């Protein structure tokens, strides 16, 4: 029987090194208690943050010291809880860390309102003259003053900060339900083996060449979701309503405006993405029709969408082989970048394989004071290899940023982060197509590239459209029920995948997408891959100078606004051109694949 192993059955070399944060849980407990006692020290500055330049600097430096330690404590707890969501001890640690983070946010919540209420640009300039160390905070001050119309009184800001633990409840409930409580059925594959469906292997199973098996996996998986339809519908409804109410509390007309204003991304960028992708759905319809031809079917069904155009699952890519390919692929970014990737892969940044109870998907995490950590559910396939390259892009971005920037600018917006991850994917595509002599692998890599554009640029834009529609329903006072979600999602699925049959099960796909709980997050995957294509094309044409511009952009961290950072790398996301360029490359590769496979 093919089953998911327990965590204890996985070798240590394939687990991330959380002992590099704290040697054990006892050391974490001591760190937790220490920083918990220091959180309220911040409140000593309440009401006098801006009485003089020296006091302002002291308050900001104390806030940094406390928040850095809180972040470290929280990171350890989050990573431990991800290892096995069934482990109640680590779920408790995570809950305590979330409470501490909320308490710290509340304790520091008066700082920015006091700056906004008492200082303007000339005051800031005078403070910098008095205390030159404040010059390091210039972009921070600019951003704080920019947000003045949407910042409430210190009392209200403290209340909103305290409520953060509660407002995050829908996402927490969904995560526990989908990762810890739900158990998916076991099905027999065409080889006669029992295979347990999981969140981690679901899409891989949908790539199996046996169509009847794919249908069984599809139907059994979504049938399990049907049993929790009302619970998931309620959690998503309350997540959306939370977004709307918090936006209104901060004087925004819509949740979308609030979400995009935080990183200072114009809402026109969102509209530009949706409109440009809708104008180019023909490429996606072409891809769907090629899939129909490739499997020799009269109609393309939803359980066929993940099927390779080549007609099989593709070659296995063991983890060790994936590491070698990725290290070679990032060579155009320079020797230093390449060496950092290799070192991270050898020094247990990555938690590699799926185990029972492990959180689904993949992510990159860590703090200013830790190494990066990458959670994977590696499946020995091309998709997993590309996901690993993706997450390494995030991790290297963090490493370069924190080395070049002080703590307050070491973080960066997701709008930029998804560029860094997708540049790695795009470089990997070019490397494998141009350097690997295995024809079968190259064909599958081309297919993987097409799939990643389909799932990242088109699918995430479809998600972004859905997200906007459900928020608009809430903002207009409408009812968000499971039926509403089914209808809106099903209509979008039918529009985007016009040549395919939209069955009742796929209308419930919204239930399995955790990113709908991250307010207006998913569009950044689409803008990210568009910017990445432009950056890689420039690097391939111009070489080291373009690569240097790109690395400069990564090193900027959060020291500038996202649109400015991408301009440093040579990309203007206010224009439809990067999106059109990415879609045109997708279209060219579709025809290249059609020729290779002799499809119409």
Catalytic residue positions, numbered: 391
Q: For residues 213 and 209, give the distance between their C-alpha atoms in angstroms, rounded to a whole number.
A: 8
CB 162 within 8 A of CB 124: no
Encoded tokens for 423: 């540049």
Closest CA to 383 of 470, 316, 293: 316
| DSSP conformation letters of 542-595 | HTHHHHHHHHHHHHTTTSS-HHHHHHHTT--TTSSHHHHHHHHHHHHHHHHHHH
Per-residue buried b or exposed e for 74-104, using 16+ beta carbons within 10 Å of the residue's own CB: bbbbbbbbbbbbebeebbebbebbbebbbbb
The dihedral sign for the CA sequence 402, 404, 408, 411: negative
Place of tokens 């949706």: 274
CB 516 within 8 A of CB 463: yes
Q: In angstroms, rounded to a whole number, what is the distance separating the alpha carbons of residues 433 and 228? A: 43
**How far is the C-alpha of 376 from the C-alpha of 197, rounded, in Å?**
17
Count the neighbouring beta carbons within 10 Å of the beta carbon of residue 168.
15
Residue in the structure block whose two tokens are 């308050």: 59
- Alpha carbons 418 and 390: distance in angstroms, whole number: 9
Torsion angle, alpha carbons of 269, 273, 276, 281, to 10:
180
The answer to whether the Cα torsion of 262, 265, 267, 271 is positive or negative is negative
Rounded CA gap, 194 and 176, in Å?
Answer: 26
End-to-end Cα distance, the chain = 40
């Amino acid at each position: 029987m093919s089953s998911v192993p327990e965590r204890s059955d996985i070798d240590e070399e394939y687990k991330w090194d959380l002992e590099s944060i704290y040697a054990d849980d006892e050391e974490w407990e001591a760190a937790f208690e220490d920083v918990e006692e220091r959180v309220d020290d911040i409140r000593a500055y309440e009401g006098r943050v801006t009485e003089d330049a020296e006091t302002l600097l002291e308050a900001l430096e104390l806030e940094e010291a406390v928040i850095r330690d809180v972040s470290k404590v929280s990171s350890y707890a989050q990573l431990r809880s991800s290892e096995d969501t069934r482990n109640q001890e680590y779920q408790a640690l995570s809950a305590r860390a979330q409470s501490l983070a909320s308490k710290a946010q509340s304790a520091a919540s008066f700082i920015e309102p006091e700056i906004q209420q008492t200082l303007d640009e000339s005051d800031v300039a005078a403070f910098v003259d008095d205390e030159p160390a404040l010059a390091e905070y210039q972009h921070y001050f600019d951003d704080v003053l920019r947000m003045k119309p949407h910042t409430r009184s210190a009392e209200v800001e403290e209340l909103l900060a305290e409520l953060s633990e509660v407002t995050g409840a829908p996402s927490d409930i969904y995560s526990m339900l989908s990762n810890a409580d739900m158990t998916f059925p076991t099905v027999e594959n065409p080889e006669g083996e029992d295979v347990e469906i999981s969140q981690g292997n679901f899409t891989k199973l949908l790539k199996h060449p046996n169509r009847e098996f794919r249908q069984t996996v599809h139907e059994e998986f979504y049938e399990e979701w049907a049993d929790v339809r009302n619970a998931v519908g309620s959690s998503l409804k309350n997540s959306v309503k939370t977004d709307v109410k918090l936006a209104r509390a901060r004087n925004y007309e819509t949740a979308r405006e609030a979400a995009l204003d935080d990183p200072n991304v114009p809402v026109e960028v969102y509209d530009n993405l949706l409109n440009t992708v809708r104008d180019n759905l023909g490429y996606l319809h072409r891809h769907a029709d090629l899939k129909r031809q490739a499997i020799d079917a009269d109609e393309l069904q939803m359980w066929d969408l993940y099927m390779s155009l080549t007609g099989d699952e593709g070659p296995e890519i063991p983890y060790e082989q994936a590491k070698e390919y990725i290290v070679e692929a990032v060579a155009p970014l320079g020797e230093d970048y390449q060496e950092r990737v290799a070192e991270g892969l050898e020094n247990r940044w990555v938690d590699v394989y799926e185990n029972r109870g492990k959180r689904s998907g993949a992510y990159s995490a860590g703090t200013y004071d830790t190494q990066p950590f990458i959670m994977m559910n590696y499946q020995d396939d091309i998709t997993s290899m590309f996901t690993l390259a993706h997450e390494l892009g995030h991790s290297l971005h963090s490493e370069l940023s924190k080395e070049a920037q002080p703590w307050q600018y070491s973080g960066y917006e997701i709008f930029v982060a998804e560029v860094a991850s997708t540049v790695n994917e795009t470089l990997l595509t070019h490397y494998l197509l141009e350097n690997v002599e295995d024809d079968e692998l190259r064909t599958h890599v081309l297919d993987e590239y097409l799939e990643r554009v389909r799932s990242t640029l088109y699918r995430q834009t479809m998600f972004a459209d859905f997200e906007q529609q459900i928020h608009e329903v809430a903002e207009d006072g409408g009812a968000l029920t499971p039926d509403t979600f089914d209808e809106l999602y099903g209509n979008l699925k039918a529009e985007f995948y016009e040549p395919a049959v939209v069955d009742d099960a796929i209308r419930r796909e919204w239930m399995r997408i955790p990113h709908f709980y991250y307010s207006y997050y998913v569009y950044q995957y689409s803008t990210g891959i568009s910017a990445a294509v432009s950056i890689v094309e420039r690097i391939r044409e111009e070489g080291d100078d373009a690569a240097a511009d790109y690395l400069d952009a990564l090193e900027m961290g959060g020291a500038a606004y996202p649109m400015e950072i991408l301009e440093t790398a040579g990309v203007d996301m206010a224009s439809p051109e990067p999106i059109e360029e990415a879609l045109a490359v997708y279209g060219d590769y579709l025809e290249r694949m059609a020729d290779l496979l002799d499809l119409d």
